[in-house]
Every structure is written in C-alpha cells, then in structure tokens.
C-alpha cells in the first residue's frame, strides 16, 4: 500500500522555481510538498546561472530570503561589450534610472532557499524515485513517487511542474495540447570556474574572430569564464592549458586587459537552445521555469524567468485559496508567455550578434560588427540593451502575490 499524503500544491523539482514557489506559498499560509529526484548536495552543487536581475533580487529581499544576496552578492552597475580588441562599457544603472544586476551563483540562491524551506518544517523529499503525475484533468491530481523504498501517493489541489527541461511534468501533458517552439544553435559554451581574482569588476561579453567569449565571476576570488565551441564538443578534448590559451586569445584586448589565470576547479560544455512549450497549464498542472522554456544563456535570463513565472503562479494560488478566485489561474500562462517571449527575443538577439555561425558570410560578419558598433555608440541602443538586461518590469506586483511592496 502506498503511503497516502495530501497537500494544496504538490511541487515537482527543488530547483530555483520549485523552491521559490514553495516559499511564496508558505508566506501566504498555503501548504505544499516538494518532491525532488536528486540529493541535496547535488542540487546545491550544480554550477549554472550567476546573474540576477534587479527584480529577482528585490523578490528575494521581499520574501525575507535575501540576506545571502545582500551580503555576498556582487552588484554590477554596468557591463562591457568587447569587439575588435576593444571594450566598451554600457552603464546599466545610468541608463535605467539606477537599476543594476547582481552576480550571485544559482548554487547560493538554491542553498539559501533550501535552508529557508527546512526552517519552515514543511516537507521536501530529496532522492525521490520514479516520480509520476496523474489525474491532471481531475480536481485531485496526484504525484506518485518512491522514497526510502516506500511508495507514496500525494493528493494535491494543484501540481506545479518545476522539474526543469528534462523533467516528467511537461511530457505528461498530451502532445496535442501543447504548442512547442524551438531553435537549436550550431554551438555550445565551454565554461570554467577558476581560482583567480576577477580581473575586471564587471562582465565582459566578447565577439572575437575565433568566436564568442564571456568573462564573469562568482566571488572576489573566483572567476567564471566561457567560450563558444561546437555543440557536441567533448570537454575531454580540452586540457586546462588549452582552455586558458583559447580564453586569453579571445578575451585579451588591445589595451592589454586579460582575465587572471588560476587553477581550474570545474569545467563543462552546455548546449544552446531556445524552447517554449505553451500553454504553461494543463488542467491542474502548471509548468514553471525550465520545464516550460529554455533560453540560450547569453542574455542571462533562465533563472530570472523561473523567478518571474513563480511570482505569477503564487498570485494565482493565493487568489484561489485565499479569495476563491480562478481568473488569476486562467491568466497564468498568458501573463508568463508575454515575458518569456520578450526574454526569448532578447536572448536570441544577444546570441546572434555575438557568436560566429558556421554558415555565415562575409556580409553577415560585417553586419554583426556594425550591430555592436551601433550598440556601443548609441545611447538609445544601449538603453534598449540595459533595460532588458536588468530585467523588464514584472506585470504582477509583489503585493498581489501576498508580499509587502
Ligand atoms: P532546474 O534548475 O533545472 O530545476 C529543476 C529541478 O527538478 C532539479 O533540481 C531537478 O533535479 C528536478 N527534477 C528533474 N526531474 C525530476 C523528476 N522527474 N522528479 C523530481 N524532480 C525532478 N542560466 C543562466 O542564466 N546562465 C547560465 O550560465 C546558465 N547555465 C546553465 C547551465 C546548464 C547546464 C543548465 C541546464 C542551465 C543553465 N542555465 C543558465 C539556466 C538556469 O540554470 C535555469 O534557467 C534555472 O536553473 C531554471 O530553474 P528551474 O527551477 O526551472 O529548473
Ligand atoms: C555566469 O556568470 O555564469 C553568466 C553570466 C552571464 C551570462 C551567462 C552566465 O550571460
């Protein structure tokens, strides 16, 4: 006999989307259970995003889980775009009336949110096996899973599918009920973490003849770097020395700036994809974050989109459980999709203007340089970049999702 459990919102996945949603619901007095396939250390140690939009930082603060980002996050008022051997600064704060981005690793965000979850005493099952959802069209959908050798059946008011791109929630929706929009790119990113003090206080996005490269960081002692490689590149092909040689070739500018070199402590290759599945709701299953959409990392939007989705979802569940309203549930997908598509467009544009494409012509190449030349010499163009990079305004207020403004 499976162990029978009940909750208002069953959440599949303890990534940023699932954990943020769980805490937003907790603050509204709404019960949830989180079911996560991996163990705690795996979830925390996965190296992924690092850039938080202003609105994501504000959300963490308003939720009372912002102490880490406040004390250890690195606020950046600008970024650099580098091409033809020269860095050009885009003053994000000046162009957006004082907004900025904060560099704070996704690992740290997830660690802070797991701590907050454990403090609430509400359930979070790590290492759940054979997770499946059922009864999505009924008013009592279920999540089934094995935990510690015991079958569980979790009856839910709603299910939030926060299980990422390779999760089970999206594939549980009949294919005919979903529209899928997808673009793959003919390259991926080779990324490293290195024990080296950041050589620049802000991010540097580089277009070089050999392809894209990005300088970022995680802390005053850890540098994060990426460069464009073929999509199926094996990391084993790259010795540490070869990685550094390629990084330095692409990033060194004519004034002699280059990243500091140090011991490589993590490395991997990430493929690039744009993907949207819509609507983000089927019956009582709501998809949020990477479960519904993926962006190429060039715009640094993935984690931020997960945060904005769950703000809209928290409002919907709060409206239902606290005021008996269903209109916010019904609007959920449309509200999210508007923001998702703007982020898709921005991420596609950042990616297209800064990478080398195998089939590009000499004309394409000149146009790309002109694009960056225009961008870095026009205040209007820089303002457009800046307002999107720091994050477009959310359609949903914190107050409507049950948070203080
Ligand atoms: P996820 O973080 O994927 O969380 C989903 C959770 O669900 C995971 O904990 C997973 O273990 C769990 N899960 C999966 N299947 C099941 C199941 N069957 N049952 C239960 N649990 C399940 N974004 C950037 O902005 N910059 C970057 O540099 C960047 N790098 C990335 C590198 C990689 C390799 C990947 C995959 C993503 C990267 N992203 C980056 C995107 C960003 O990390 C994601 O947008 C963000 O993690 C989305 O959060 P999420 O909670 O929706 O999904
Ligand atoms: C990162 O720091 O990992 C990072 C920064 C900016 C991006 C992508 C990744 O666009």
Q: Give the per-residue pLDDT at 362.
A: 96
Which is it for the CA torsion 249, 223, 38, 53, positive or negative? negative
Half-sphere exposure of 83 (CA within 13 A, CB side): 21
Tell whether the model's pLDDT for residue 338 goes beyond 90: yes
Length of the chain: 405
CA of 151 to the centre of ligand 2 (A): 40
Question: Do 176 and 26 contact (CB within 8 A), yes or no?
Answer: no
Q: Is 97 helix (H, G, I), strand (E, B) or coil?
A: coil
How far is it, in rounded angstroms, from Cα 329 to Cα 212?
41
Q: Which atom of ligand 1 is nearest to the CA of 288?
A: 52
Distances (CA, A) of 190 to 193, 263, 356: 11, 16, 15
Average pLDDT over residues 62-82: 97
Task: Specify the pLDDT at position 43.
Answer: 94
Residue 8 Cα to ligand 2 middle (Å) = 35
Atom of ligand 2 nearest to the CA of 217: 2
223 lines ligand 2 (CB under 6 A): no
Q: Does the structure show a pLDDT above 70 at 236?
A: yes
pLDDT band at 49 (very low <50, low <70, confident <90, very high): confident
Q: Read off the tokens for 225.
A: 């770097």
Q: What is the distance between the alpha carbons of residues 179 and 157, in angstroms, rounded to a whole number? A: 25
Separation CA 103–CA 88 (nearest Å): 20
Q: Judge if the upstream peptide bond of residue 279 is cis by omega within 30 degrees of 0.
A: yes
What digits encode the pLDDT tens for the residues 81-135? 999 999 999 999 999 999 999 999 999 999 999 999 999 999 999 999 999 999 9
For the cut 70, the answer to whether the pLDDT of residue 405 exceeds it is no
Going by the DSSP 8-state scheme, the letter that residue 393 receives in this structure is P
What are the distances in angstroms from CA 16 to CA 53, 206, 237? 14, 28, 32
Give the separation between CA 279 and CA 322, rounded to whole angstroms: 25
* CA atoms within 13 Å, Cβ hemisphere of 73: 29
Binding-site residues, ligand 1, Cβ < 6 A:
12-18, 35-38, 43, 48-49, 106, 128, 131, 162-164, 167-168, 270, 289-290, 297, 300-303, 306
Please give the order of strands across the beta sheet that includes 179-195: 86-90, 79-83, 204-208, 211-219, 222-229, 179-195, 263-278, 293-294
Cβ burial of 123 (10 Å; 0-12, 13-18, 19+) is middle
Question: How would you class 10 by CB atoms within 10 Å of its CB: exposed for 0-12, middle for 13-18, buried for 19 or more?
Answer: buried
What is the spatial distance between Cα 74 and Cα 365, in angstroms, rounded to a whole number?
34
Q: In angstroms, what is the span from residue 176 Cα to ligand 2's centroid?
A: 35
Ligand at minimal distance from the CA of 288 is 1
Residue 47: predicted pLDDT:
81
Which atom belonging to ligand 1 lies closest to the Cα atom of 19? 51
**Does the pLDDT of residue 178 top 70, yes or no?**
yes
Average pLDDT, the chain: 97
User: Which of 142, 143, 115, 145 has the alpha carbon at shortest distance from 128?
Assistant: 145
Closest CA to 286 of 389, 133, 405: 133
Q: Is the dihedral of CA 76, 81, 87, 91 positive or negative?
A: negative
CB 291 within 8 A of CB 170: yes
Q: Catalytic positions, please? A: 76, 205, 297, 301, 389
Beta strands per DSSP E along 289-335: 293-294
Cα 85 to middle of ligand 1, angstroms: 34
């Amino acid at each position: 006999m499976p162990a029978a459990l009940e909750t208002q919102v069953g959440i599949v996945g303890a990534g940023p989307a699932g954990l943020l949603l769980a805490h937003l619901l907790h603050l509204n007095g709404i019960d949830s259970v989180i079911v996560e396939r991996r163990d705690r250390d795996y979830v925390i140690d996965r190296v992924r995003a690092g850039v938080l939009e202003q609105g994501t930082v504000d959300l963490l603060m308003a939720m009372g889980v912002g102490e880490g980002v406040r004390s250890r996050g690195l606020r950046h008022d600008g970024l650099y775009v580098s091409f033809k051997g020269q860095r050009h600064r885009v003053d994000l704060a000046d162009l957006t009336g004082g907004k900025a981005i904060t560099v704070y690793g996704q690992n740290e965000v997830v660690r802070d949110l797991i701590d907050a979850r454990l403090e609430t005493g509400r359930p979070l099952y790590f290492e759940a096996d054979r997770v499946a959802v059922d009864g999505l069209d009924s008013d009592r959908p279920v999540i089934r899973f094995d935990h510690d050798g015991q079958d569980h059946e979790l009856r839910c008011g709603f299910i939030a599918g926060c299980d990422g791109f390779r999760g089970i929630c999206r594939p549980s929706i009949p294919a005919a009920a979903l529209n899928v929009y997808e673009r793959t790119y003919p390259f991926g990113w080779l990324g490293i973490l290195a024990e080296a003090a950041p050589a620049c206080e802000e991010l540097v996005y580089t277009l070089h003849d050999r392809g894209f490269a990005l300088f970022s960081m995680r802390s005053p002692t850890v540098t994060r770097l990426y460069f464009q490689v073929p999509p199926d590149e094996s990391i084993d092909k790259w010795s540490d020395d070869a990685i550094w040689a390629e990084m330095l070739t692409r990033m060194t500018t004519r004034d002699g700036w280059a990243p500091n070199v140090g011991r490589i402590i993590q490395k991997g290759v990430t493929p690039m994809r744009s993907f949207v599945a819509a609507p983000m709701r089927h019956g009582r299953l709501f998809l949020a974050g990477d479960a519904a959409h993926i962006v190429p990392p060039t715009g640094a939007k993935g984690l931020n989109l997960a945060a904005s989705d769950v703000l809209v979802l928290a409002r919907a569940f709060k409206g239902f459980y606290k005021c008996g309203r269903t209109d916010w549930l019904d609007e959920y997908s449309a509200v999210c999709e508007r923001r998702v598509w703007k982020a898709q467009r921005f991420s596609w544009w950042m990616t297209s203007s800064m990478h080398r494409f195998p089939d590009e012509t000499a004309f394409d190449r000149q146009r790309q340089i002109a694009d960056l030349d225009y961008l870095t010499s026009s205040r209007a163009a820089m303002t457009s970049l800046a307002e999107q990079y720091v994050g477009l305004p959310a359609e949903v207020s914190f107050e409507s999702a049950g948070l203080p403004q």
